[in-house]
Amino acid sequence: MSNDYLQVCLIQSHLFWENPTANREQFSKKIAAVSEQVDLVVLPEMFSTGFSMQAKKLAESIAGETVNWLVNQAKTHQIGLTGSLIIQEDSQFFNRLFFVFPDGTFQTYDKRHTFTLAGEDRVYKAGSEKLLVDYKGWKICPLICYDLRFPVFARNTEDYDLLLYVANWPKLRIDAWDTLLKARAIENMSYCIGVNRIGLDGNGYEYSGHSAAYDVLGNKISIQNKETEWMDIVSLRKEHIITNRNKLGFLRDRDRFSLL
């Protein structure tokens, strides 16, 4: 596939509560079932456990089974693969996103905005650095769930091409998810993709998915709109980004400031 195009597969799924083995097994089957050639597969936030605060029980090391599974899946299917999981480093826990390349190497991002309403801030250490991934000529900014509510951190000062969110975003506030995904695409003049889970978690919270992809003008380009399990493949075009940025020039007028 040329650098002018990026084929991205969104996998919207239920998650087995605090059961990494079952989740790895189900996603192995789903990834193997992708029928088209894709460049990148996107899984939800904490895809191996669900959004759990039981970090002491569930955390893995960077050399643990789930990271090894990500690496093996990426190498076996020759894809980029991303999602977040619970990682322990020394005595601290992180909600850490892995972006794994087809050769098995990876880059990581620790969730910057921990979800205080659920007590995530009391369990997981917040990250501080934004990650920019260079993949097949595409500059990708991956973020996690609650980060979606904070536009300054996502602000496109790097001229990235794709803003990507993995999430466990509850049905109760799904209108905010829909609205903010579209807004992040428009204000950053980038493609914006969000992959959310479905089903009930172990705390009784319901998730309705609404995973979606938007182009740089805020037009929805994913075709699925079901609150059930599904996979959708979207084709992103570099020409779409360049043409609209050059024509409209909105990013050239952005305010100049930085976060301390």
Give the active site residues: 45, 111, 145
Phi, psi of 230 (to 5 degrees): -160, 165
Determine the Cα–Cα distance for residues 51 and 252; give it in Å rounded to an integer.
38
Residue 175: C-alpha distances to residues 90, 105, 185, 223, 242 (Å): 38, 36, 16, 18, 30
Query: Taking the C-alpha atoms of 117, 152, 149 and 201 in order, what is their torsion angle to the nearest 10 degrees?
Result: -70
Phi, psi of 225 (to 5 degrees): -150, 40
Beginning with the edge strand found earlier in the chain, give each strand of the sheet holding 92-100 in spatial order.
Answer: 106-110, 92-100, 80-89, 40-42, 5-12, 230-237
